[in-house]
Amino acid sequence: MSGRGRMPGTRVVVALCLLLAGLVGCGGRPGADGTRAEVQRLLDRRAAALLHHDRTAYLRTGASGWSAHLREVPLADWSYRVTGLRRDGDEAVAEAELRYRVEGYDRAPVTAGRTLALGRDADGAWYVKTDRPAEGSAEQLWDQGPVEAVRGDHSLVLGVGRSEDDLRGFARLADRAVPAVSRAWDSDWSGHVVVLVPKSLTGMAALLGSPESSYRGIAAVTTGETDAPAEAPADRIIVNPDAYGVLGDLGRQVVLTHETTHVATRAHTTRATPLWLSEGYADWIGYLGGARTPAEAAPELARAVREGRVPAALPADADFGFTGEAGRLAQAYESGWMACRMIAGRWGEDRLAAFYRAVGAHDGRAGAVADALEDVLGTSAERFTEEWRASLRAEFG
């Protein structure tokens, strides 16, 4: 535009409009900050409606999504925090952190990344079109379908695509596991567990954000943070129905008790704790009071010893990889169990628990086991390894 015929003050008005465009937008269109605030308010209303089971209010915020899937889940808190926003006209994509807490079980909120697709209605109000896991984030159980909930004396079992009788069976197993663990592990813990039972291995893998091949043949895993603070949310025991379903009654109980041990010991399981100890201790409690002999409970290790292949050392963490050779993985678990069994038999169950805590309390992995062996059991790493190898020969040779 040439300067001829320009009204006085026009340049100032244009400059002011350009300045304000970054804040509220010329022509009254909300800018990025305004849109983000609107979306946050929308998600606040959506979260409140879900917590109060107000379906009408929930539907006003957009698609019904999986709100009905959560009807039986006892939620104490549910909130979103918008962490990013991309807008293209009347469409937008919000990245958000979901925080929720299961009433009576979670000491602190569980967090999960979510991606929400948004649109604007005829009145210019934003609404939710879809709500899905963010890239790199695992699914939540209700992403997979309506959640059925069964409460036990010491457990909450949440399942998708499972019958109520099926879920009650898991609750009975968990309710036997919790007292068994508490009798052996004298440290403070919550004394209850949350068990998630998806429809299949595919559902389990999605809950863990990993490929199915990582957990094929694995009956259950426990999620939780290493070095987690005391106020961390409760761990989740996630079942693989495909592998769990082929186990007998004893095997199912051992698995649930093993995983419950991980829940109980989580506060004392740190980066200093080797997997042979954490997995071996969980197996040791899992097998307590059972009728299985060592040869029955540790067939891969027994076979190796009979063939003259006595392990030279306790298994490394890498030996516990789910994607490795099945026999190697089984032998790693069995080796850890036999080491913990030897400690309990020679030094006593209380010393075994004290040894576990001492290793976890170490500043780091280096020296953690050696220092705990000396301080708690009065032996060295070299003598302990030789005694463990000798016990294998005596048991299986």
Residue 7 is predicted with a pLDDT of: 35
Q: Model-level pTM? A: 0.87
Q: Are residues 156 and 132 in the same domain?
A: no
Name the burial class of residue 59, with classes exposed (0-12), middle (13-18) and buried (19+) by CB atoms within 10 angstroms of its CB: middle
Q: Are residues 118 and 246 in the same domain?
A: no
Q: Are residues 245 and 283 in the same domain?
A: yes
How many angstroms separate the CA atoms of 178 and 194, rounded?
11
How many angstroms separate the CA atoms of 367 and 51, rounded?
48
Is 6 contained in some domain?
no
Domain boundary among 75, 109, 137: 137
Residue 64, both tokens: 């019904």
Domain boundary among 111, 137, 163: 137
CB atoms within 10 A of CB 287: 21
Is 1 contained in some domain?
no
For each successive 10 residues of the chain (397 residues), what is the average pLDDT?
A: 38 33 36 85 97 92 86 96 96 97 92 97 95 95 96 97 96 97 90 96 94 89 68 83 93 96 94 97 94 92 96 95 78 97 97 97 96 98 98 94
Please, which residues bridge with residue 270 across strands?
none
Is 54 contained in some domain?
yes
Q: Are residues 100 and 24 in the same domain?
A: yes
Q: Are residues 87 and 158 in the same domain?
A: no
Q: Give me the amino acid identity at 329.
A: L
Cα distances (Å, whole numbers) of residue 288 to 53, 181, 245, 293: 44, 10, 22, 11
CATH number for position 124: 3.10.450.50
Residue 292 is predicted with a pLDDT of: 86
Domain with 59 in it = 13-137
Q: Are residues 229 and 364 in the same domain?
A: yes
Residue 231 is predicted with a pLDDT of: 58
Q: Are residues 66 and 167 in the same domain?
A: no
Q: Are residues 188 and 222 in the same domain?
A: yes
Is 169 contained in some domain?
yes
> What string of H, E and C letters represents the secondary structure of the chain?
CCCCCCCCCHHHHHHHHHHHHCCCCHHHCCCHHHHHHHHHHHHHHHHHHHHCCCHHHHHHCECCCCHHHHCCCCEEEEEEEEEEEEEECCEEEEEEEEEEEECCCCCCCEEEEEEEEEEECCCCCEEEEEEEECCCCCCCHHHHCCEEEEECCCEEEEEECCCHHHHHHHHHHHHHHHHHHHHHCCCCCCCCEEEEECCCHHHHHHHHCCCHHHCCCCCEEEECCCCCCCCCCCCEEEECHHHHCCCCHHHHHHHHHHHHHHHHHHHHCCCCCCHHHHHHHHHHHHHCCCCCCHHHHCHHHHHHHHCCCCCCCCCCHHHHCCCCCHHHHHHHHHHHHHHHHHHHHHHCHHHHHHHHHHHHCCCCCCCHHHHHHHHHHCCCHHHHHHHHHHHHHHHHC
Domain boundary among 116, 137, 158: 137
Is 7 contained in some domain?
no
Asked if 39 and 92 count as a contact pair (C-beta separation under 8 A), the reply is yes
Is 4 contained in some domain?
no
Residue 180 is predicted with a pLDDT of: 96
Q: Are residues 214 and 325 in the same domain?
A: yes
Asked if 301 and 331 count as a contact pair (C-beta separation under 8 A), the reply is yes
Domain count for the chain: 2
Q: Are residues 240 and 129 in the same domain?
A: no
CATH number for position 212: 1.10.390.10
Of 239, 85, 263, 272, which Cα lies nearest the Cα of 160?
239
Contacts of 302 (CB under 8 A, 6+ apart): 294, 295, 395, 396
Is 172 contained in some domain?
yes
Is 331 contained in some domain?
yes
Q: Are residues 125 and 18 in the same domain?
A: yes
Name the burial class of residue 102, with classes exposed (0-12), middle (13-18) and buried (19+) by CB atoms within 10 angstroms of its CB: buried
Give the β-pairing of 155-160 and 193-197.
parallel
Q: Are residues 102 and 193 in the same domain?
A: no
Q: For the chain, how far is it from start to end, CA to CA, in angstroms?
A: 97
